[in-house]
Structure 1
Amino acid sequence: MAGNSDPLTPRAKLAVTAGKAVAAASRAAGRGSGSVIGGRVALKLDPDLLGRLAQNLDVVLVSATNGKTTTTRLIAEALRAAGPVVSNALGANMPAGITSALAGGSEAKFGVIEVDEKYLAGVARDTDPKCIALLNLSRDQLDRAAETRMLAENWREGLAGSKAVIVANCDDPLVVWAASSSPNVIWVAAGQMWQEDAWSCPSCGGVMQRPGDDWFCGECGFRRPTPTWALSGDHVLDPHGSAWPIHLQLPGRANKANAASSAAVAAVFGVPPQVALERMYQVQAVAGRYDVVQFQDRDLRLLLAKNPAGWLETFSLIDPPPAPVILSVNARSADGTDTSWLWDVDYTRLTGHPIFVIGDRKLDLAVRLEVANQHFQVCDNLDQAVQMCPPGRIEVIANYTAFQDLRRRVGN
């Protein structure tokens, strides 16, 4: 680890103190955790604060379109076997939120940081990470994020020559292209259920060939690298070929993939797969995701799905028909205001489920379900939807701000 025992200058200490005071005031006023506003104030007072706070930490950055928050939690849990961890566990993943999180971890050895895709290159420059985990890239927030290949190019340029160990998903061609500029990459076969953003070669624009689990470009020869770690059913295969069972309370194939990448990251810091995977069992829910809550004498399971890739993975988790499903979609600035992505989601996978539709953009979603020949009812709010649901556990799937609305309503 670099630096002396106290890398903070008087100015940096003032910035941290002011940021914490503003965050506390924001919390007291009922305006959320205050981490973003506190971080903004701190960075205004000391623009180099993020780098100073990271100086005495072994830093891991986690970036992806889907699974960042969960994977960050899994890695943090695994690394606690080797020492104290500071992490932005609530998902405030831009520089202000990250600064705020690190300011609270003066005793930590490791910093495990989720980073928004657009900010990865800058945060990597500021924090000098020892390891960077790249999970996937797919379309998301169409009005805010550049299209996926431009994001991959941003990563590729930002990580070129990085000293960090890059742990990257070899099943996502965009991630492979982004990571290939780095001299030290560990490839993980974590799978890729959603492939609609990777039909053209990110290197030359040619058509990707996808025989079985493999992929390659027939025109320039860009191809899937050979993994040293792999998800295989309910096990993680390590570089020695040993199979380690995955113990998770989180549901679904996507979370097993997150665990495989997390085990590879933990190994970079000397935490063996068996220890890492056993520790991951502690994680029951992540910022409310996967929580089962009681509401109006019913069991509701809260599931977050923010984009087509996330909805596809979520549909694979839900109880079989005729389990009732409530869908909620907003299009506020934090979600992305463009809802055209709804047309990329295969809603025929909900056939046989009674469907109830709520949220700011319930009518947009209703039109999409109509075209998909699904039976659904539009409701005014969660309370009405729950009252109309037939018996059984209710699966509630919502995008970002709709999910926050739901959590507030059910007191979660």
Structure 2
Amino acid sequence: MSGNSDPLTPRAKLAVTAGKAVAAASRAAGRGSGSVIGGRVALKLDPDLLARLAQNLDVTLVSATNGKTTTTRLIAEALRAAGPVVSNALGANMPAGITSALAGSSDARYGVIEVDEKYLAGVARDTDPKCIALLNLSRDQLDRAAETRMLAENWREGLAGSKAVIVANCDDPLVVWAASSSPNVIWVAAGQMWKDDAWSCPSCGGVMQRPGDDWFCGECGFRRPTPSWALSGDHVLDPHGSAWPIHLQLPGRANKANAASSAAVAAVFGVPPQVALERMYQVQAVAGRYDVVQFQQRDLRLLLAKNPAGWLETFSLIDPPPTPVILSVNARGADGTDTSWLWDVDYTRLTGHPICVIGDRKLDLAVRLEVANQQFQVCENLDQAVQMSPPGRIEVIANYTAFQDLRRRVGN
């Protein structure tokens, strides 16, 4: 809990000051927020800085392949009902970015921190979290991310015996396998549209049986745990069986699932579901995602989809045909350079939408759409794609660096 005692040693204070100075210089040079470079410098000067900054906070960590940034934001809004919150709201989710975010606030009581899946165990060791939210695990950045079963294994080993309350999605077998090593787990039925990463049992390798919404391994008996919280249509069911309405400005089923998990986390800190869910309504857009922007006299809705699971969720929330759709795919370092994941996405869901394709890997995407029998045009850039799109609001779906490019172009 936070008190008035200052946990920072002179060395730690120097590290924080130096980190902020470097971040400010980076911003002044127009190189982004500077949070990552600032955090790196600070950690070089004091390798224990993250632990020191976290020791006066009640920390929640949020990790997943999809939905981390949004869920972090929803939890932060909910916990503000109980006290000041510090969070890495812009998604810098590796140790340097997290250190930078925590260094920016001295009076916070709660820390709500998004963590890259590969760094979860280490950040959990450093920050001694009170709560960890685990949402989902699916294929992402194929050329460099560990295979999903290995990530689940890393989580399982890293969280074994953790004192934290784990809030975990019981509909994702990989998450259940990862969380099952922890003594204190709250299970949330948050749903799982994308099932292609969990057909084999993470415990024994046997074939998963999936009757209805249930799942179990016929060989070793590993099975879906009974949830105490659940997403049910437009409501969250709490452990007492009460149904609380979800009112969000963010679209889609996936965000209702994020809200259900966030309500379960808020309850760990004594914030009741009604209060938590009302506060989540404040969130309109998250780092540009879901924003509707004006560009060339048109309304563009910006949607981020980084991997097959994310594209599937995104297709479910776009306006029906004949709403025009612009798709943009890059394959730079932050995206992963392997685009073979495009073949795992069911692009037949776009039938009836006029489609324009842009981005560094527009030709890879064009081949994929050709095979899926979709009608599309390849365009040079966003400006041309907007000009070629028929009237009405345009849905723009992009992967990670393509999304950042779009935001720069539309001045968002």
Change (3 A) 1:2 1:282: closer
Q: Deviations over 1:157-181 (max 9, x none)?
A: 0000000000000000000000000
The within-5 A match list for 1:242-257 is: 242-257=242-257
Q: Deviations over 1:211-268 (max 9, x none)?
A: 0000000000000000000000000000000000001000000000000000000000
Runs of 4+ off more than 4 Å? none
* Secondary structure of the structure 1 residue equivalent to 2:133: strand
The within-5 A match list for 1:285-296 is: 285-296=285-296
**Within 2, Cα distance between the matches of 1:269 and 1:2?**
14
Q: Deviations over 1:376-408 (max 9, x none)?
A: 000000000000000110000000000000000
**Within 1, Cα distance between the matches of 2:2 and 2:275?**
27
Structure 1 unmatched runs, 5+: none
**Within 2, Cα distance between the matches of 1:283 and 1:301?**
16
Q: Deviations over 1:316-360 (max 9, x none)?
A: 010100000000000000000000000000000000000000000
> How far did residue 78 of structure 1 move?
0.1
Asked whether the equivalents of residues 37 and 96 of structure 2 are also in contact (C-alpha less than 8 Å), the reply is: yes
> How far did residue 2 of structure 1 move?
7.3
> How far did residue 4 of structure 1 move?
6.5
* Secondary structure of the structure 2 residue equivalent to 1:97: helix
* Secondary structure of the structure 2 residue equivalent to 1:250: coil
**Within 1, Cα distance between the matches of 2:409 and 2:268?**
41
Q: Deviations over 1:21-52 (max 9, x none)?
A: 00000000000000000000000000000000
**Within 2, Cα distance between the matches of 1:3 and 1:327?**
50
* Secondary structure of the structure 1 residue equivalent to 2:157: helix
* Secondary structure of the structure 2 residue equivalent to 1:331: coil
**Within 2, Cα distance between the matches of 1:334 and 1:3?**
39
* Secondary structure of the structure 1 residue equivalent to 2:225: coil
**Within 2, Cα distance between the matches of 1:38 and 1:127?**
19
**Within 2, Cα distance between the matches of 1:274 and 1:4?**
32
**Within 2, Cα distance between the matches of 1:269 and 1:378?**
50
Change (3 A) 1:2 1:293: closer
Asked whether the equivalents of residues 2 and 109 of structure 2 are also in contact (C-alpha less than 8 Å), the reply is: no
* Secondary structure of the structure 1 residue equivalent to 2:367: helix
**Within 1, Cα distance between the matches of 2:374 and 2:106?**
53
Q: Which residue of 2 aligns with 1:109?
A: 109
* Secondary structure of the structure 2 residue equivalent to 1:239: coil
Asked whether the equivalents of residues 203 and 222 of structure 1 are also in contact (C-alpha less than 8 Å), the reply is: yes
Asked whether the equivalents of residues 3 and 55 of structure 1 are also in contact (C-alpha less than 8 Å), the reply is: no
Change (3 A) 1:37 1:244: same
* Secondary structure of the structure 1 residue equivalent to 2:2: coil
**Within 1, Cα distance between the matches of 2:73 and 2:104?**
17
> How far did residue 290 of structure 1 move?
0.2
**Within 1, Cα distance between the matches of 2:31 and 2:204?**
47
**Within 1, Cα distance between the matches of 2:247 and 2:4?**
38
Asked whether the equivalents of residues 170 and 190 of structure 1 are also in contact (C-alpha less than 8 Å), the reply is: yes
Q: Deviations over 1:182-213 (max 9, x none)?
A: 00000000000000000000000000000000
> How far did residue 90 of structure 1 move?
0.1
Asked whether the equivalents of residues 11 and 45 of structure 2 are also in contact (C-alpha less than 8 Å), the reply is: yes
**Within 2, Cα distance between the matches of 1:388 and 1:178?**
47
Q: Deviations over 1:116-149 (max 9, x none)?
A: 0000000000000000000000000011110000
Percent identity of equivalent pairs: 96
**Within 2, Cα distance between the matches of 1:397 and 1:225?**
34
* Secondary structure of the structure 2 residue equivalent to 1:342: helix
Structure 2 unmatched runs, 5+: none
TM-score, with length taken from structure 1: 1.00
Asked whether the equivalents of residues 117 and 151 of structure 1 are also in contact (C-alpha less than 8 Å), the reply is: yes
Asked whether the equivalents of residues 177 and 202 of structure 2 are also in contact (C-alpha less than 8 Å), the reply is: yes
* Secondary structure of the structure 2 residue equivalent to 1:15: helix
* Secondary structure of the structure 2 residue equivalent to 1:78: helix
The within-5 A match list for 1:300-311 is: 300-311=300-311
The within-5 A match list for 1:204-219 is: 204-219=204-219
Q: Which residue of 1 aligns with 2:170?
A: 170
The within-5 A match list for 1:6-405 is: 6-405=6-405
Q: How many pairs align?
A: 412
**Within 2, Cα distance between the matches of 1:374 and 1:107?**
54
**Within 2, Cα distance between the matches of 1:189 and 1:4?**
39
* Secondary structure of the structure 2 residue equivalent to 1:397: strand
> How far did residue 5 of structure 1 move?
1.7
TM-score, with length taken from structure 2: 1.00
**Within 2, Cα distance between the matches of 1:32 and 1:127?**
26
> How far did residue 3 of structure 1 move?
7.6
**Within 1, Cα distance between the matches of 2:57 and 2:346?**
43
**Within 2, Cα distance between the matches of 1:177 and 1:398?**
31
> How far did residue 105 of structure 1 move?
1.2
**Within 2, Cα distance between the matches of 1:16 and 1:55?**
15
**Within 2, Cα distance between the matches of 1:296 and 1:392?**
12
Asked whether the equivalents of residues 4 and 56 of structure 1 are also in contact (C-alpha less than 8 Å), the reply is: no
Asked whether the equivalents of residues 300 and 395 of structure 1 are also in contact (C-alpha less than 8 Å), the reply is: yes
